[in-house]
Amino acid sequence: MTQSPPKSQGSVHAPHLYPPYTSSVRRAPHERLIPLPAALEGLHGPVFGAGRLRPDDHDTTRNARVNGEPLGERIIVRGRLLDGSGRPIRGALIETWQANAAGRYVHGRDEHDAPLDPNFTGTARMLTGGNGEYELISIRPGAYPWGNHPNAWRPAHIHFSVFGTNFTQRLVSQMYFPGDPLLAHDPIYQGIPDEKGRQRLISRFDLNLTRPGWALGYRFDIVLGGGAQTPFEEPGHDE
């Protein structure tokens, strides 16, 4: 079932309420919003430094290993975090989480009957470098059923969280893989009103980044603001 995207209202970001994505009906505000005190915007924290990260925190094939390699297709994702003018953002914390190769999360609410992987949690974190670059080494996630509509399956995706200088400055998005036929049927992806915006969530295969005999490489840049901004999710869109 292919969903028609909502009409653009000058933003590439998904709306709070998009009925084809049924969870948004429950999560969207139904009462007038209450402004938070401006003082919250001045909180300076958390402060992250390279010393707080373990050397393998960016590598899900190693950071949860117990007694062997995690199962699945290894991937390398590399990109840059940029501001709206294309300038690199240095020293920013990026966190990622994802399902395993069988399409299951390590989460108590995930009732999918696919197997868990004892050597894989699907979580990673990294700081951007001097040129705004980051690198994630992981396993390509599997698709999974999610009950939004009949025979609904989420396309393979990785969640990206970008932190600013405090807890109020957090942006969350999803990265998809090129050529995935499930994208045409996914209301979370299709809920983004701008076609160009949707395309910015699809990573690019990169043969030069591919490591011979070991892992496929993908490029995925994240842009905060401006005409090429990456679409971000409304709070609570966590599937």
* Structural domains of the chain, with CATH: 69-230 (2.60.130.10)
Q: Which residues contact 109 (CB under 8 A, 6 or more apart)?
A: none
Q: How far apart are CA 169 and CA 43, in angstroms?
A: 10
Q: Are strands 74-83 and 216-219 parallel, antiparallel or unpaired?
A: parallel
pLDDT of amino acid 5 = 46
- Per-residue confidence (pLDDT) for residue 14, from 0 to 100: 73
Assess contact for 54 and 9: CB atoms under 8 A. no
What is the predicted pLDDT for the residue at 12? 79
Cis peptide before 88 (omega within 30 of 0): no
Q: Which of 159, 185, 198, 200 does the annotation list as catalytic?
A: 159
Over the chain (239 residues), what is each successive 10-residue block's mean pLDDT?
45 73 71 67 55 91 95 98 94 95 94 96 96 98 95 97 76 96 96 92 98 98 92 66
DSSP string, 36-74: PPGGGGG--B----GGGS-TTTTBTTTTT-SSSPPSS-E
Each residue of 142-174: b (16+ CB within 10 Å) or e?
bbbebebeeebbbbbbbbbbbbeeeeeeebbbb
Q: What pLDDT sits at residue 32? A: 76
The Cα-based distances of 64 to 70, 99, 106, 142 in angstroms read 9, 14, 12, 18
Active site residue 157: yes
**Predicted pLDDT at 1:** 37
DSSP bridge partners of 154: 144
Kindly give, in sequence order, each residue whose CB lies less than 8 Å from that of residue 119, ignoring residues fewer than 6 positions away.
Answer: 64, 65, 66, 67, 68, 69, 70, 71
Catalytic hit among 154, 185, 198, 200 = 154
**Cα–Cα distance, 105 to 120 (Å, whole number):** 10
**Of 18, 21, 105, 134, catalytic:** 105
Q: Output the pLDDT for position 101.
A: 98
Catalytic residue among 18, 21, 134, 144: 144
Q: In what order do the strands lie in the sheet with 157-163?
A: 123-127, 93-97, 157-163, 170-176
Catalytic residue (choose from 13, 104, 157, 185)? 157
105 tagged catalytic: yes
Rounded to whole angstroms, how far apart are CA atoms 175 and 106? 19
What was the pLDDT predicted at 135?
Answer: 98
Phi and psi at residue 184, in whole multiples of 5°?
A: -65, -15
> 84 CB contacts (<8 Å, ≥6 apart)?
223, 224, 225, 226, 227, 229
User: What distance in Å separates the CA atoms of residue 48 and residue 6, rounded to the nearest whole number?
Assistant: 38
For residue 21, indicate whether it is catalytic.
Answer: no
